[in-house]
Structure 1
Amino acid sequence: MNKIKVQCGDFQGNITLPCYEAFKSPDLSRGVSMAAVYQVGDSSGWTSMGQVDYKEWAASKNLHVGDTLVFNYNSQFHNVKQVTQHGFEACNATSPVATYTNGYDTVTLEKLGHFYFICGYPGHCQAGQQIDILVSSPTSSLSPSPSTD
């Protein structure tokens, strides 16, 4: 089954033209996979101030390939380091997979599995500014159910 992936909406909640076109398309019957945008930490953003339990935040999300994470933070005091599982567990940012520093960073989740992020500023990861993102396979209510014959 082919699926169409469409980002339906901008940050203000307006439906974008590609979304509108997809829903009026006859290809809709093949199934539509929607990409979502998540601001890490919701309105608190990416911070070490103890306002956000990032483990709880991540557990409350159902993330899929194509979804986007937004890290919103004060770049004078924080950064985002994508690290390995070992780097995550040790709060070690010395060999990051990727580094983000502009204060409004977006990361598109391009494969299944775990993505690990920490703040590389001293003490911030240890204070809880770290997140383990699990990207899972989507389940589509538009797909036909498997036969039980």
Structure 2
Amino acid sequence: MERMCRVFLALLLGAIFSKEASAAQHVVGGSQGWVESADLSSWASGETFKVGDQLVFKYSSGLHSVVELASESAYKNCDLGTSLNSMNTGNDVVKLDKPGTRYFACGTSGHCDQGMKVKITTVSGSAPSTPSTSGASAITPFASILVAIGLLYML
């Protein structure tokens, strides 16, 4: 009975590592971050965003902000009056919690009109993420299986 409990615990730990490995953090704008000079459309087109992933907006607080817009029309017209959420810490994290398209723009006057905006399309969890940073995603599902097997042998 004790051995069965240990096996169950090892499998549970493997599942936890696998769950953590499936989420990725995407630094918006890549190495440039959330700045006017970044080609945010090109950056976004090179990424795959999955449910559970996170967007990280890194920028100089006071110089920029992040506004989530309500619609594609608001995004295209830089209509910041339709914001769903506004952030200004310089290191803002947005969890992608469901499939669909979300729209973000800089809330500083004129920045959205100059192209400081990004459209993010999130897919369900079956597609592979392409994170722009390492971190929680460093443990792959295969590695978590190896960890579980190693734990079994240690028991």
Q: Tell me the residue number matched to 1:66.
A: 52
Q: Tell me the residue number matched to 1:132.
A: 119
Q: Tell me the residue number matched to 2:26.
A: 38
Aligned CA distance change for structure 1 residues 110 and 123 (closer, same or farther; 3 Å): same
Aligned CA distance change for structure 1 residues 61 and 25 (closer, same or farther; 3 Å): farther
State, as a whole percentage, how many aligned pairs show the same letter.
32
How high is the TM-score relative to the length of structure 1?
A: 0.70
Report the structure, 1 or 2, having the larger helix content: 2
Structure 2 gaps, min length 5: 1-8, 129-140, 142-155
Alpha carbons 2:98, 2:124 under 8 Å: kept: no
Which structure 1 residue ranges, 4+ long, deviate > 6 Å from structure 2?
none
Alpha carbons 2:34, 2:58 under 8 Å: kept: yes
Structure 1 gaps, min length 5: 1-23, 143-149
How far apart are 1:70 and its partner, in Å?
0.5
Decide which structure has the larger Cα Rg and report it.
Answer: 2
How high is the TM-score relative to the length of structure 2?
A: 0.68
In the alignment, does 2:77 pair up with 1:90?
yes
**Paired letter, 2:122:** V
How far apart are 1:140 and its partner, in Å?
6.3
How far apart are 1:43 and its partner, in Å?
1.5
Relative contact order (C-alpha < 8 Å, sep 6+): which is higher?
2
Matches within 5 A, 1:1-149: 25-26=10-11, 32-33=18-19, 34-48=22-36, 50=37, 52-84=38-70, 85-139=72-126
- Tell me how far apart the structure 2 counterparts of residues 88 and 36 of structure 1 sit (CA, whole Å): 25
- Tell me how far apart the structure 1 counterparts of residues 109 and 63 of structure 2 sit (CA, whole Å): 10
**Paired letter, 1:83:** L
